[in-house]
């Protein structure tokens, strides 16, 4: 395999210096939701053009690049997103390189500790190079590692024109973490019937299934009156919201489920006794169970409204659906992954995503969208880290997939 360690490490670290944490509160009002995302998108557009690719960047705020093939193979795509999550601080990232990780505890700033006793995957890279933040922010491998991997693969192809390739499309999107990244995607420009998102985690993982996902935005209006004379008159919007939350089955929450189990997650509760807002995430792999969960929340809302006498409105918005069906209908997409991995001697294992990717939205149009690994761990946290070897191997896997499709 080709060693891309130095180049992909340096490129990834350079991308982490851009402040691209997305802002869910700005979704629908601004695209991208933060200035730093557009700054990095424009940098990527320029870098693609410097490699000789045709590019497009319009009001959708999606960078698209096109590399002409030198074979009669099938057009394929690769996709990654530039934003990082806001679960913890995602700006001001200061990456730290551990060139020869000794297998011990890593102590970062603010008391943040990476302990191989608790995070055993660290030991897989003893004696190798890993990257962390300084402990004051997440690292941003989700998904700047994916961006760096795709860019390095393109750079290699441009520098080695003798390597056979089909036409290749690449897409860099904003606001994946807010769920709005694909709302204005230029679907009419898409030519690929198979697109690989490079947005996974541990080395060797390829993901073919994800959650069905919806958000229920609940607006609660109470009746306000002086607290001293509230009996029989006051309706407290916060009390109604709390009743809804406690009515959700606690055994079906994110913190109580794993594997293929879905969940309800009350994520945001804000407001006053007069008016409050509650956001509930709903996730499930099975479509029938997913619809049942939505209906259950609607029934709880109706019951609470009847009990208290306030006014409650629930608005359901579906973010994405399970991409499994599109991947099943296009078996060549995963066949390419296994073919490439076998030639490279890489171990591949199929996993499910307890989340989603931009590829899930593409899959709704019939495009197969397997999700490839980046090598990132502990995503969306101060303890995030990534293995440089894994990034390099992911580049080789992408190149192997390209070789597969150059002949079909």
- pLDDT, tens only, 185-222: 999 999 998 999 999 999 999 999 999 999 999 999 99
Query: Looking at 19, 38, 83, 175, which residue is catalytic?
Result: 83
Same domain, 374 and 308: no
pLDDT of 179: 87
User: Nearest-CA neighbor of 217 among 171, 267, 251?
Assistant: 267
Q: What pLDDT does 81 receive?
A: 98
Domain containing 114 — which CATH number? Answer: 3.40.630.10
Q: What mean pLDDT is reported for the chain? A: 97
Residues 91 and 177 in one domain: yes
Boundary-marking domain end, from 319, 348, 373: 319
In terms of domains, do 159 and 33 share one?
A: yes
Q: Are residues 107 and 191 located together in one domain of the fold?
A: yes
- Per-residue pLDDT of the chain (408 residues), as tens digits, is 999 999 999 999 999 999 999 998 898 889 999 999 999 999 999 999 999 999 999 999 999 999 999 999 999 999 999 999 999 999 999 999 999 999 999 999 999 999 999 999 999 999 999 999 999 999 999 999 999 999 999 999 999 999 999 999 999 999 999 989 999 999 999 999 899 999 999 999 999 999 999 999 999 999 999 999 999 999 999 999 999 999 999 999 999 999 999 999 999 999 999 999 999 999 999 999 999 999 999 999 999 999 999 999 999 999 999 999 999 999 999 999 999 999 999 999 999 999 999 999 999 999 999 999 999 999 999 999 999 999 999 999 999 999 999 999
Cβ neighbours, 10 Å, residue 113: 13
Instruction: Tell which of 292, 319, 346 closes a domain.
Output: 319
Alpha helices in 248-349 (DSSP H): 287-308, 324-329, 332-344
Phi-psi region of 356 (alpha: psi -120 to 50; beta: other; left: phi over 0): beta
Domain count along the chain:
2
Same domain, 359 and 216: no
Look at residues 319, 343, 372 and tell me which one is the last residue of a structural domain.
319
What's the pLDDT score for residue 398?
98
Same domain, 230 and 181: no
Q: Are residues 161 and 217 in the same domain?
A: no
One domain, residues 233 and 218 = yes
Residues 67, 138: one domain?
yes
Residue 83 designated active-site: yes
Whichever domain contains 295, its CATH number is 3.30.70.360
Pull the structure tokens for residue 311.
Answer: 């006014």
Cα–Cα separations (whole angstroms), residue 89 to 41, 135, 281, 374: 21, 10, 22, 21
What integer pLDDT is reported at residue 70 of this predicted model? 97
**Residue 205 annotated in active site:** no
Q: Which of 167, 175, 176, 305 is catalytic?
A: 176
Domain identity same for 331 and 396: yes
Structural domain harbouring 129? 5-210+322-406
List pLDDT tens digits, range 112-139: 999 999 999 999 999 999 999 999 999 9
Query: Are 310 and 358 within one domain?
Result: no
Q: What is the reported pLDDT for 87?
A: 92
Tokens 């994520």, located at residue: 267
The DSSP bridge pattern shows strands 263-271 and 371-372 to be unpaired
Do 201 and 349 lie in a common domain? yes
pLDDT number for residue 27: 87
Cα–Cα distance for residue pair 71/126, rounded to 1 Å: 41
**CA-CA-CA-CA torsion for 185, 7, 84, 291, nearest 10 degrees?**
60
Written as six digits, the tokens of 158 are 């441009």
Q: What is the per-residue pLDDT for 72?
A: 93
The predicted pLDDT at position 151 comes to 98
271-307 b/e (C-beta count within 10 Å ≥ 16 → b):
bebbbbebebbbbbbeeeebeebbebbeebbeebbee
């Amino acid at each position: 395999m080709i060693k891309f360690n130095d180049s992909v490490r340096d490129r990834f670290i350079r991308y982490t210096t851009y402040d691209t944490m997305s802002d869910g509160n700005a979704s629908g009002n601004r695209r991208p939701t933060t200035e730093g995302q557009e700054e990095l998108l424009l940098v990527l557009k320029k870098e693609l053009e410097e490699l000789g690719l045709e590019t497009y960047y319009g009001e959708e705020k999606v960078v698209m690049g096109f590399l002409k093939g030198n074979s009669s193979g099938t057009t394929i795509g690769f996709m990654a997103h530039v934003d990082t999550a806001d679960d913890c601080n995602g700006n001001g990232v200061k990456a730290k390189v551990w060139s020869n990780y000794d297998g011990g505890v890593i102590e970062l700033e603010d008391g943040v500790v990476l302990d191989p006793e608790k995070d055993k995957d660290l030991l897989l890279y003893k004696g190798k190079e890993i990257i962390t933040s300084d402990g004051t922010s997440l690292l941003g491998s989700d998904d700047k590692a994916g961006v760096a991997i795709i860019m390095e693969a393109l750079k290699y192809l441009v520098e080695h024109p003798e390597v056979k390739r089909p036409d290749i499309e690449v897409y860099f999107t904003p606001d994946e973490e807010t769920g709005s990244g694909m709302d204005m995607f230029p679907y009419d420009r898409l030519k690929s019937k198979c697109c690989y998102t490079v947005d996974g985690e541990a080395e060797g993982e390829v993901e073919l299934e994800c959650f069905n996902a919806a958000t229920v935005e609940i607006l609660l209006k109470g009746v306000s009156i002086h607290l001293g004379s509230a009996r029989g008159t006051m309706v407290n919007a916060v009390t109604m919201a709390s009743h809804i939350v406690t009515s959700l089955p606690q055994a079906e929450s994110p913190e109580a489920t794993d594997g293929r189990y879905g969940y309800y997650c009350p994520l945001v509760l804000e407001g006053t006794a007069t008016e409050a807002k509650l956001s509930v995430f709903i996730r499930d792999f099975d479509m029938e169970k997913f619809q049942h969960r939505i209906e259950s929340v609607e029934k709880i809302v109706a019951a609470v409204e009847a009990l208290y006498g306030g006014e409650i409105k629930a608005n359901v918005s579906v973010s994405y659906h399970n991409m499994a069906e599109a991947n099943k209908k296009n078996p060549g997409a995963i066949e390419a992954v296994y073919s490439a991995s076998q030639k490279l001697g890489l171990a591949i294992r199929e996993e499910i995503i307890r989340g989603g990717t931009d590829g899930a939205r593409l899959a709704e149009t019939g495009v197969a969208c397997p999700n490839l690994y980046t090598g990132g761990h502990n995503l969306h946290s101060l303890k995030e880290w990534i293995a440089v070897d894994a990034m390099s191997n992911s580049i080789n896997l992408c190149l192997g997939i390209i070789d597969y499709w150059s002949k079909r």
